Each structure stands twice: as C-alpha cells, then as structure tokens.
Structure 1
Amino acid sequence: MYSVTLQEAEGHLGELAKRVTSGESVVIHCQDGSQLKLVVEKPAKRVSGERVFGRYEGQGWMSDDFDDELPESFWLSDSNT
C-alpha cells in the first residue's frame, strides 16, 4: 500500500493514478484525520437490446386501494408484531 499526505498528493495525481491502475493500493491522508482511498472504477455494463415501449405491459398491477389512506392501526401498531 502506498500512503501519502494530501499535500504530497496534490502535485502527483498522474503518478498516483498509474500506481492505482497497475493494481497498487493508494491511500491519501488528510489533515483532519480522514483517509481517501483511490480506486479504479470499472466502466458500467452497457445493456444490450432494443428498448421497446410496452414490452412489460400487463406484467405488473396496482391494487385498487393503493391511494387509500392507511388505517390508524397501521401507524399505531407495535413494531414487534
């Protein structure tokens, strides 16, 4: 693990990035005691396939009383039951 202070890291971001991309752990120590860990973020997976409007139509439902007010007993019931 490579460890530097924030002041040391300020001018060496390129070097730190190379270390991280080669697999080394890099931790930056801040003056307030916090620590920053540099990590490589993998690109998000692209979803393949075409988006089709209505593809899942009819596969979900919503109860007729979805918008009804909840009974008082719902809010006042014991959380252990």
Structure 2
Amino acid sequence: MSLEQTACDAVLTDLKAFERRLTEVIACLQPATTRWRIVLATVSLCTAIAAWHWLTDPLTPVVSLTQSLWNHPFFAVTSTLLGRL
C-alpha cells in the first residue's frame, strides 16, 4: 500500500467519523428545533391576526401611532415578541 493510499484512507475514516458525529448532534437537536418552529409559527400567526385587527380599525388612521398601539396591546406585544425571536 502506498503512502498516498494510506493518507486517503485516513482522511476517509475521519470524514466518516465526522459525518456520524454530525448526524448524532443533529438528531439530538431535533426536538428543540421542532419546539422553536411551533413557537415561531404561533407567534407569527398571532401577529398576523393582531395586525389585521389593527389595520382594519377605523381609528388607526385618525390617532397617533403610540395611541393606536396603546389601543391594540395584543398587536404591540406579539410584534415585539416576533422581533425578539
């Protein structure tokens, strides 16, 4: 066996070990990822619903932005949460 072949075998073994470890780490993170996706989807949906109510309110164009957000606390809270996620 040549020196080149030995080096290639060593690299291939290292790559296979790295792939196994990466697969193991990703499998371990899967439940947390699913939870965060559910949280993100829920907050996004709540923000979209609150934004619809905020934009269809006839008082929104008449009052100031701060007063409008004060009148719609659900939108203010969910949009802040979505910004922090």
**TM-score under structure 2 length normalisation:** 0.23
When you count strand as a share of all residues, which structure comes out higher? 1
TM value normalised by structure 1: 0.23
**Which one scores higher on RCO, CA 8 angstroms, separation ≥ 6?**
2
